[in-house]
Amino acid sequence: MTDAPTRGRVAVVTGASSGIGEATTRLLAERGWHCVLVARREEVLRSLAAETGGEIEVCDIGDRAAVRRTTSRILARHPSVDLLVNSAGFLAQGTFVDAPLDLVERALAVNYLGGVWTTRGLLDGLREAVRARGRAHVVTIASIGGAIVFSPAAPYSASKHAQVAFSRSLRAALQGTGIEVHTIMPGFVTTPGFPHPKVFATRLGRRFVVGPERVATEVLAAVEHGKPEVVIPWFPYGLGAIAQALAPTLTTRVLRRADYT
Amino acid sequence: MTGASSGIGEATARLLAQRGWRCVLLARRADRLRLLAGQLDGEAETCDVGDRDAVAAAAARVLARHPEIHLVVNNAGIPARRTLDEVDLDLVEEVARVNYLGGVWVTRALLPGLQLAAGAGGSHVVNVVSIAGAVAFAPSGAYTAAKHAQLAFSRSLHATLRGSGIDVHTILPGYVQTEGFPQRSLLEHRLLKHIVAQPKDVAEAVVRSVERGRSEVVVPWFPYRPAIVLYGIAPSLVSRLGARVVRTSRAFQAKAAEQPPGDA
């Protein structure tokens, strides 16, 4: 893998200020991509942009008008966008019995709708990249919680289910256009803002938790090798998705016990 | 019963009324709702379930009349038959509000009534989802995403309320011929017409799930239940089939557009 084929290519990363978004930005920059960092926290973005030689856009992904303004500014500077990484997202804990309804709405706006708005806002740039270089990519950082129902963080899991369906059906809709869509489904990742249920503090549980750098590596691998979907790590989470399809009620009931307290 | 003015909602309300249930019908179309309520000796509440304040107000009125609620059927839903690269963004939000959030709001607002009835013998929530909630269907991108969220809502609510006396049931219909979701092209197909169900089939599944305590019912079981399992194991394979449907329907639309009007 050399730097040459990616040098100067434009990547837009949302949720770039921390966690998976930050790790992905660092890795892309190392490989020669020019990154546009999108997130809410200006100072954090500024220092990361200075380190990685990228640009920043301060934007709340859960705000449709803000996303529209941001994506038009990006397209004005970069008519061709080679890669979009939809990484902005937050954990909305609680059940559908006790979670505040505002949180339920906010989770849907940030974790699902924000990705739709960003992708649609940059679609012309992605099409331009296809014309210029034959290919463009959209990477959706979903979660295995989008394929397995996780009731201790129910509003999160529901929003991630919508996001997975968005990513998978967008891939099908764009097949043959040169824009490739990749769905990344991490299990538990050690990132700020995402605490783990206590079961992951056990010796066995720790083996199922990965760092954001691992996810970033898989994002690049998915883009480079054209992988439609990646579950990280596949064991045990990939098996969980199959269990959900075969025995949905039982699977959800078992996972209900993995609470955060 | 939400979305009670037509389709699955209307059929379910009729069946429940036949079985002696007193039905409170919620939907947007006041005239049709009142007509049906009159026929079923039920009550009508005009309400857009996609409007959180309207849901809270309607639920408060219902609870004032009926402190105990034995059954909530979240059935209201609207289609969005476009792919996600083309669909109108206002519709993306509306379909998410009506098909997913509306069910959350209705359930939460009526929860005190369900809890009261749970203490006195048990109560039920039925979510009428769709097979598109379990299998991503690209030609209706925003619809399938909203239904995925709704399915996760229904399944996690089931797990959360287990043991509380409130039973949650998930209904996953395949293609159903209704006014809101016409299936003309499928019904014209020699083989595919067999995978289209009628609203009364789903209504029967709703009643069965409540009476027999079934947590999930796929209507009809074949071919949809095997499709869910296949999708869980090999989602990319099923998505590729979806891509083929998109290409075929685009080619079909392009051909139709070339034909002079009236020639269809």
Instruction: Name the residue among B85, B161, B216 with its Cβ closest to that of A173.
Output: B85
Given an 8 Å threshold on Cβ–Cβ distance, is A173 in contact with B101? no
pLDDT at position A204 over 90:
no
Given an 8 Å threshold on Cβ–Cβ distance, is A150 in contact with B156? yes
Q: Which residue of B has its CA nearest to A120?
A: B85
The answer to whether B16 and B23 are in contact (CB under 8 A) is yes
3-state secondary structure of B218: strand
**Averaged confidence pLDDT in chain A:** 92
Instruction: Name the residue among A105, A123, A154 with its Cβ closest to that of B101.
Output: A105
pLDDT at position B254 over 80:
no
User: Domains plus CATH for chain B?
Assistant: 7-228 (3.40.50.720)
Q: Which residues pair with B172 in a beta bridge?
A: B218
Q: Which residue of B has its CA nearest to A256?
A: B159
User: Residue B74 — pLDDT band, cuts 50, 70, 90?
Assistant: very high
* CATH code of the domain occupying A4-256: 3.40.50.720
List helix spans (H) across chain B: 7-18, 30-40, 52-65, 89-96, 102-119, 141-161, 184-187, 199-212, 221-233, 235-258
Given an 8 Å threshold on Cβ–Cβ distance, is B145 in contact with A162? yes
Q: How far apart are CA A52 and CA A24, in angstroms?
A: 11
Considering only CB atoms, which chain A residues are within 8 Å of B155?
A: 149, 151, 248-249, 252
User: Residue A94 — pLDDT band, cuts 50, 70, 90?
Assistant: very high
The crossing angle, in degrees rounded to 10, of helices A114-133 and A154-174 is 30
Other CB atoms within a 10 A radius of the CB of residue A104 amount to 26
Q: What pLDDT is recorded for position B261?
A: 44
Q: Within an 8 Å CB–CB cutoff, is residue A105 touching chain B?
A: yes
The answer to whether A73 and A57 are in contact (CB under 8 A) is yes
Cα angle: B122, vertex B125, B126; to 5 degrees: 130
Could you read off the pLDDT of A216-235 as tens digits, one per residue?
999 999 999 999 999 998 88
Per-residue pLDDT, averaged over B156-176, amounts to: 96
Q: Within an 8 Å CB–CB cutoff, is residue A123 touching chain B?
A: yes
The ipTM is 0.93
Q: How far apart are CA B23 and CA B75, in angstroms?
A: 14
User: Residue B264 — pLDDT band, cuts 50, 70, 90?
Assistant: very low
Percent residues over pLDDT 70 in chain A: 96
Return the minimum-mean-pLDDT range out of A101-105, A249-253, B15-19, B235-239.
B235-239
Q: Which residue of B has its CA nearest to A246?
A: B229
Q: How far apart are CA B11 and CA B201, in angstroms?
A: 9
Considering only CB atoms, which chain A residues are within 8 Å of B242?
A: 168-169, 172
Quick one: how many helices (H) and strands (E) in chain A? 10, 9
Q: Is B34 exposed, middle or buried (0-12, 13-18, 19+ CB in 10 A)?
A: middle
What single letter denotes the amino acid at residue B152? A
**Averaged confidence pLDDT in chain B:** 91
Per-residue pLDDT, averaged over B71-78, amounts to: 97
Given an 8 Å threshold on Cβ–Cβ distance, is A170 in contact with B243? no
Given an 8 Å threshold on Cβ–Cβ distance, is A172 in contact with B146? no
